[in-house]
Amino acid sequence: MKLSRIFGPVGIVWFLLTLGVIAYATKLGLILAPVDALQGNVFRIIFYHVPHSMLSLLFPYINLAASLCYLYWRQRDPLKALTADAWAISSAEVTVLYASICLWTGMLWGRVEWGLWWTWDARLTSMLLLWLLYVSYLMLRKLSATGQTHTLAAVLSVFAAIDVPIVYMSIKWWRTQHPAPIFFSGDPDAKMDPSMLPAFLWNIVGWAMWGIFLLCFRYALERRRQAREQDAALQAIEASLELAQ
Amino acid sequence: MKLSWMFGSSMEARHLLYVYLSVWFIQGGYLAWTAWHWTHTPKGSRAEDPLDSANRKNY
Amino acid sequence: MSYFGHVLCHLRKDLQLEWRSRDSINGMLFFSLLVVVVFSIAFDPTAAISRQIAGGILWVALLFASITALNQAWTRELRNRVLDAQRMSPAPPSAMFLGKALANFLFVVVVELVMALPFFFFYNLHALGQGWLMLVIMPLGTWALVCNGTFFAALGLRTRNRELMLPLILFPISIPALLGMMQATTAVLTGEYEPGLWIRLLVAYNIAFTTVCLLLFETILNAE
């Protein structure tokens, strides 16, 4: 059974299911009684913010795996390499998407809670750098010469992957030496009240499903583009062959 | 809009609303962008399955 | 010829070419001086504050100066299709990369040595910490910038907007190294904390990225 044939109906079912989960999760997030009447309702922001942060740390790994596969298959099996490349660009775009939302919602939260749009605390700075790394990846994709794009992007992805742990550690040390106001002190799960857990978990599941859906949809779009490029290249070759005859 | 369940400052309420709306807007925007390109990218003759050897023209 | 023979060959070639034209070194020197002057006008620091910010300003100036040099590091290889000839030769491509990176390193070190004096004058600096550590920090920091910079300059060789591409890719990847060099320099100047941690970070960064650059250079050279 061709994979592309079942992509369609499964995709639609998954999409509808995801919408349902997100709607339910949002409702749970909004109607849950506040833990402490003094905290107010603004804490509900974490139901959207934290799942996006956690997921934005997941997709870069997919990008790394896809890039490594691309580099491995580049000479050995070009068709498989193209598949890997499609996964690489999809996961990079979804990473930037989730990281952007994480940063933006974090800023809105900080504005209300602390009166600050931004602070250079360890988490925010690391997230900003992750965002910068993958935006630079997308820029390289856009600006590089055709034919080279896939390889150069895969190499940059390897660099970014090596950089991420170094960034994380260095920023943590920096903020240990020079403390700054911390937006989310400690691990949010650690002080999460059990009554908040259902909303939190449903949101993680919902947004993970949404992320997977976007990833696969973007992958399908990339495969279409690749197929169209291959067609165009083939037409060009056939045209040149005809002229030769 | 029924915001009767909101108590506390209206700045909180506003920011909470901004968060939820902007997340839907951004996620929906990306979905719309992908969907638009999906509908506007013609299916190549190989698009059904590029890995299928039957699609390869043999010279 | 041994591997290091190849490296020395490339290094000598780059040094000779640069010596004859001297365009990158002159450009870099003047550029960094201008950056230092502009920052002095922007911040106008007192002696106490100047020690806090001098480290940052020094490395920003060097960063921008290196970018101007790195941008045209590979262009001389494009002229007369020299790069294609290099690709076809049996010499290891990473030797070419290493030779060029070492050459760029030497150019930036020359700029640093020349810039050190005006810098100390404009900011009325004297190190309150262990000043000799600067002799360790400067080369480590410079190599971090130059190694990755040379690699990404080669990566962006055939992209549109080549000059824009280099800083776009280089800056995010270099931020841990920049943090390390700036913090270490500030530690030495202010004497408020130990630079040891940051120096170790720089060493680890350099080892990691030099290895990756050497391993992956051949891939991007033959990227088509």
Q: What is the pLDDT of residues C79-89, one digit of tens each?
A: 878 888 888 88
Q: Give the best residue of C78, C148, C179, C224 to mutate against chain A (max A CB count within 10 A).
A: C179
Considering CB atoms only, which of A129, A133, A173 is closest to C197?
A173
pLDDT of residue A189: 46
Q: What is the predicted pLDDT for the residue at A152?
A: 92
Q: What Cα–Cα distance (Å) separates residue C218 from each residue in A88, A106, A107, A228, C88?
A: 21, 41, 42, 30, 12
Per-residue DSSP letter, A32: S
* CB-CB under 8 Å, A136 with C172: yes
C14-22 — which CB contacts under 8 Å span 24+ positions?
C14/C99, C14/C100, C14/C103, C14/C104, C15/C103, C15/C106, C17/C76, C18/C103, C18/C107
C-beta of residue C19 within 8 angstroms of C-beta of residue C110: no
The yes-or-no verdict on residue B1 having pLDDT over 50 is no
Please, what's the b/e burial string for C73-86 (b: 16 or more CB within 10 A of its CB; e: otherwise)? bbebbeeeeebeee
Name the pLDDT band for B7 (thresholds 50, 70, 90).
low
- The per-residue pLDDT for C23 is 75
pLDDT tens digits, one per residue of C39-57: 878 877 676 778 888 888 8
Residues C202, C147 contacting (CB under 8 angstroms):
no
Q: How far is CA C53 from the centre of its chain?
A: 20
Rounded to two decimals, what is the model's pTM? Answer: 0.88
The letter for the amino acid at A17 is: L
pLDDT at residue A193, rounded to an integer: 67
Instruction: Tell if the CB–CB gap between A223 and B47 is shorter than 8 Å.
Output: yes
Which residue in the set A31, A42, A97 is minimally distant from B12, CB to CB?
A: A42
Burial classification of residue A108, based on how many CB atoms lie within 10 Å of its CB (0-12 exposed, 13-18 middle, 19 or more buried): buried
Instruction: Report pLDDT for A82.
Output: 93
Please judge whether B22 and A105 are an interchain contact, meaning their C-beta atoms are less than 8 angstroms apart: yes
Interface of chain B toward chain A, CB-CB under 8 angstroms: 5-9, 11-13, 15-16, 18-20, 22-23, 26-27, 30-31, 34-35, 37-38, 41-52, 57
* Whether A73 contacts chain C with CB within 8 A: no
Residue of C nearest to A145 (CA): C159
With a pLDDT cut of 90, the percent of chain C lying above it is 40
Report whether A232 contacts A62 (CB < 8 A): no
C161 φψ region: left (φ > 0), alpha (ψ -120 to 50), beta (else): left
Structure-model confidence comparison of residues A213 and B7, the more confident one: A213
Q: Give the chain A residue whose CA is nearest to the CA of B18.
A: A108
Q: Encode pLDDT of C180-208 as tens digits.
A: 999 999 999 888 888 999 999 999 999 99
Do the Cβ atoms of B12 and A112 come within 8 Å? Answer: yes
Q: What span, in angstroms and rounded, lies between the C-alpha atoms of B11 and A220?
A: 42
* Pairwise CA distance, residues A47 & A110, whole Å: 15
Higher pLDDT, C106 or B5: C106
Q: What is the pLDDT of residue B3?
A: 52
pLDDT at C208: 95
Burial class (CB in 10 A: 0-12, 13-18, 19+), A144: buried
Is A107:A52 a contact under the CB 8 Å cutoff?
no
pLDDT at C42: 82
**A120/C contact by beta carbon, under 8 A:** no
Distance of CA A74 to the CA centre of its chain: 24
ipTM: 0.88
| Contacting residues of B for A40, CB less than 8 Å apart | 7-9, 12
Predicted local distance difference test score (pLDDT) of residue B47? 46
Neighbouring C-beta atoms of residue C17, cutoff 10 Å: 14
Helices and strands of chain B, counted as H and E runs: 1, 0
Q: For chain C, state the CA radius of gyration.
A: 18
Residue B51 pLDDT exceeds 70: no
In order of A84, A215, A217, A222, C101, the CA distances from A10 in angstroms are: 21, 14, 12, 19, 52
Closest CA of chain A from B39, distance in Å: 9
Indicate the residue type of A116.
Answer: L
Residue C98 has pLDDT above 70, yes or no: yes
Q: Is the dihedral of CA C71, C174, C171, C162 positive or negative?
A: positive
Residues in chain A with pLDDT < 50?
A: 1, 186-190
| pLDDT the model gives residue A204 | 93
Report the C-alpha gap between A163 and C205 in whole angstroms: 9
Is some CB atom of chain A closer than 8 A to the CB atom of C176? yes
